[in-house]
Structure 1
């Protein structure tokens, strides 16, 4: 794939319906991108793809570098071959701050995808990590009801993520969706809230090409209803 094109495996509605027992090798996802996020088989932990390396951030607070992406499976992931088209430095307070910043940088991107990366020192970062399914086909709402939250203060690290347009809700998560990992690769998770310690480096790119691959020969996916649950997605991904 070319730079700044979105590749996605499966859809968020499948996770909502508990479709997470199978998936595709992460190595196949990495063929399409070096920057992104997702989850792992049975929704065990949060995935961040940074500079082509994949990390699994677990509910116990540990972070595992996925050294063999061919042997590790993801039921859902979104990546791009990231090349920022805009770079700036700014102080950012929370998702509202990101929203305002990106809208200012890309005023014509309301209905496009935007890939984002932030590097620097963060005053606070509040994250969640999912512990995984307790049974096959357990939905994402129930899995996230047992999520673990962590708060990091004065931490240097990187935020990776995407802004997705409203019309893809159910396919992906509409709005801003970010994961964080510390510089030492020892802490991280799905961002709930954050505040930078002064200015951080921000790179972003507007994207207009979206590639979606759906699971095949997957009984769970075939039998899932996949009805849109917009409010529940917002609740668990908030």
Structure 2
């Protein structure tokens, strides 16, 4: 995918029609988001010029991300100048089905409010190295106006990271690292409640997403199926050896 040089508000599709069919137009950044991305690129990399050629490609496989559409935005002249752009579904039905806006507003609050607070506290107490909670992508910009919500993140593949294949077993070492990271996340959250209660109040007032959808029958059925799958795995005779 490319952003048109002469008409930066438009996104070109210089690929075959068969590939276009696999990438519905509704999943592409809309005009407002495209303008926002161009402005952000100009601010971050002014040396690319006023209207650089940009490429857009899928950043995740189908099924890897349930609540949004994830794109990779790259400068055509330098693939290392790369950003990850997360959008909610553009289709109104899908937005409602996946409760897209409330989820995006919460995720935006995490990047705009919570993570800066964690950095502030850790800097104050001089927490460095492996003790520091830092296992997250940097955020370079967000929009919260409906239907132009978007979150622009650091592209972690440039640092050598990759998304684990969810159909393969997760190595024990990876699980250990995840648990250690969760421990640091919960520790810094508790510290924030005690040390910066007035700053954390905005986040504490948020109503749990699933509480908001308590009466959603389809979601209830989905979670019942998840519980059934988890229980069947725990009760499987094949797992007795563990």
TM range, smaller chain: under 0.3
Higher strand share: 1
Higher relative contact order (CA 8 A, sep 6+): 1
Q: Which has the larger Rg?
A: 2
TM-score by length of 1: 0.24
